[in-house]
Amino acid sequence: MLNEPTMTKLYEMKLNGMAEAYQEQRVSSTITDLSFDERFAMLVERQWIWKENRSLSTRLTYAGLKQPAAIEDLDFRDSRGLKRSQVEQLASGQWVEHHQNVIVTGPTGCGKTFVACALAHKACREGHRALYFYAPKLFRALSLAQADGSLPNLLKKIAKAQLLVVDDWGMAKVEERQYREFLEILDDRHGVGSTLMTSQFPVNAWHEAMPDPTVADAILDRLIHNAHRIELKGESMRKRKLKD
């Protein structure tokens, strides 16, 4: 029988999806009712699905999202200020394709991180490469990279991400030099990548938190001028879950 050598060759060629579908066809009692073209189309479809799922898994692992969030799980209660129409627009992924930004603000516990991770997850599903950083950890990583000489490699890794997520902006004290490094990151992304920021602080308070007004102007100019704004409100989602 040629079945086993065929299976072996399919796996060696990394056609795992096709191999699995071929095995199912071999034991199916109704598969002979289909034409060769129909059976072959089923094999190709399974291989395509397998490849897409594998690619998505790789992108999600690379992204390192803090929460396993999905667009379909977002809470659109009126009290939150999250608009379904705006999320549906962002879910298309065109904002990433057009190198636009998203800024999510709101009080602690209102679900900013979940919304950010859901949008990043959807971007990964649309074939984009995302990269998540908790803001204080990003600046610590920049400091360590500066100290050990790996800063160019870190900046290169960030630049490769079509979507950069910076979560909880403004939560830690940042040195003036680090703001300049962050400006370099944004400058590298300008016109070629998208950035998603979350913060407990309103955008109009970001400027005064940065020591150098010139750097602050440059950072905000690159973030805000083409950004979609999501302003969440209401009580903490954590507290609400405890009540439920």
Instruction: Between 137 and 233, name the one with better pLDDT.
Output: 137
Residues 27-33, mean pLDDT to the nearest whole number:
84
Q: Indicate whether 209 pLDDT > 60.
A: yes
Question: Which pLDDT value is given to residue 9?
Answer: 87
What is the average pLDDT score of the chain? 90
Question: Which pLDDT value is given to residue 19?
Answer: 87
Per cent of the chain over pLDDT 70 is: 94
Q: Indicate whether 211 pLDDT > 60.
A: yes
179 torsion bin: left (phi>0), alpha (psi -120 to 50), beta (else): alpha
pLDDT category at 236 given cuts 50, 70, 90 is low
pLDDT category at 237 given cuts 50, 70, 90 is low
Q: Indicate whether 80 pLDDT > 60.
A: yes
Q: Indicate whether 85 pLDDT > 70.
A: yes
Q: Indicate whether 36 pLDDT > 60.
A: yes
Give CA–CA dist 187/60, Å, rounded.
25
Q: Indicate whether 240 pLDDT > 60.
A: no
* Per-domain boundaries in the chain: 3-62, 64-243
Give CA–CA dist 154/168, Å, rounded.
20
Question: Which pLDDT value is given to residue 2?
Answer: 61
Number of CB atoms found within 10 A of residue 161's CB: 22
Burial of 95 (0-12, 13-18, 19+ CB in 10 A): buried
Give the pLDDT confidence of 38-56 residue by residue, as tens digits: 889 999 998 888 888 889 9
pLDDT category at 75 given cuts 50, 70, 90 is confident
Residue that has been written with the tokens 């999905």 in this structure: 70
Give CA–CA dist 119/81, Å, rounded.
16
Q: Indicate the fold that domain 64-243 takes in CATH.
A: Rossmann fold (3.40.50)
Give the pLDDT confidence of 153-204 residue by residue, as tens digits: 999 999 999 999 999 999 888 888 899 999 999 999 988 999 999 999 999 9
Question: Which pLDDT value is given to residue 150?
Answer: 94
